Structure 1
């Protein structure tokens, strides 16, 4: 089993002191364990720049989403390796342990996923981290997720929307509920297939811009440029 302190220390060390400040006050509800969208996957799996400003034309979320089946919460540690292609920052951390999200690790992930244009940091939906952890496990990737776009401030999203019709006016990126990414050791089409197989939210495929969009909205799919 991965020792949390060693892994977390490694990730935060790469970020440096300027990347992760003093511990922010976190709402208790954010880290309370709820539905666990990848528990079954994590327990069954064997152990074992980028496009500038391109974004997602997110299809509307249905007003009545399908109910999710009840899942057993796994207490096994979950970890992520992220690399922001715009800032060159990296983080590697155990973000979930003993049945709960780890606040300082989540803070570090949020920092790397900030709006790099404005510097605004927002609380990302932790279910996104679970989707990424599930993807890494399914495709057996050993590399960092290459992050094209995480959080987007209203100012940034408005600018991108004015520039391209593929950018939703009210993008889920603005709510910390979407990420555009790719893996250097996994083909884009394989990553897309793995994301679709998870059935945990929206999946957009952008083969020209070389990224896959994942979000925590309703299960849906689309193809962009």
Structure 2
């Protein structure tokens, strides 16, 4: 589980946003469905992911409908960290959706055609967020500039989707 970030993300990405591989990376998350918060948790220290903190983050991002917890791709936390860094902010990220069990994904697909059948949410590789005090367009633009994964823009639903899949862009409702 412990791995060097150097194997997962290229150095130029960190250089572009003024970060290096040896810095301590922290996040603050607020799950809007459960009300739970983690504040300023150091998920990666000196290039090493912190297993205990990752477990806390996995729990926070669980499927709130079923209680099911999965292992979230640590690169997703890096993507959140880099997006905030690109914006020049460090704030509490509001989580609309993290992990989704296959049952929850199927339920959501029945309610909306905008839910992918093989959603990366079911693999712990996607998250839907917003940042208080940061406009949705600005958040979207900051994530797109990184070119590190999928970025969906949902202005009517008031969130941005980020994932660790290949770089691609789309707009939803």
- Structure 1 length-normalised TM: 0.72
Q: Distance in 1 between matches of 2:14 and 2:138?
A: 18
**Cα RMSD after superposing both structures:** 1.7
In the TM superposition, what is the alpha-carbon distance from 1:45 to its structure 2 partner? 4.3
**Aligned position for 2:4:** 33
Correspondence for 1:181 among 129, 135, 152? 129
**2:157 corresponds to which residue?**
209
Asked whether 1:118 is paired with 2:66, we answer: yes
Q: 2:142 aligns to what SS in structure 1?
A: helix
Given that residues 157 and 169 in structure 1 are in contact (C-alpha distance below 8 angstroms), is that contact kept between their aligned partners in structure 2? yes
Query: Which has the greater radius of gyration?
Result: 1
Higher relative contact order (CA 8 A, sep 6+): 1
| Cα 1:116/1:196, change in 2 over 3 Å | same
Deviation string 1:15-35 (CA, Å, 9 cap, x unpaired) is xxxxxxxxxxxxxxx321153
Does residue 1:136 correspond to 2:107, yes or no? Answer: no
The DSSP-based 3-state class of the residue aligned with 1:87 is coil
Q: CA deviation at 1:114?
A: 0.5
Rounded to whole Å, the distance in 2 between the matches of 1:46 and 1:171 is 32
Verify the 8 A CA contact 1:139 1:191 in the aligned structure 2. Answer: yes
- Partners of 1:96 and 1:76 lie apart in 2 by 8
Q: How does 1:8-23 map to 2 (within 5 A)?
A: none
2:24 maps to which of 58, 77, 93:
77
Asked if structure 2 preserves the Cα contact closer than 8 Å seen for 1:141 and 1:186, the reply is no
Of the three residues 208, 212, 218, the one matched with 2:166 is 218
Paired residue for 2:104, among 148, 156, 159? 156
Give SS of 2:144's match: helix
Q: Verify the 8 A CA contact 2:17 2:82 in the aligned structure 1.
A: no
Distance 1:43 1:215 in 2: 21
Aligned-pair distance for 1:104? Answer: 0.6
Q: Which runs of 5+ in 1 are unaligned?
A: 1-29, 48-72
Matched residues in 2 for 1:164 and 1:46: separation? 39
Q: How far apart are 1:106 and its partner, in Å?
A: 0.7
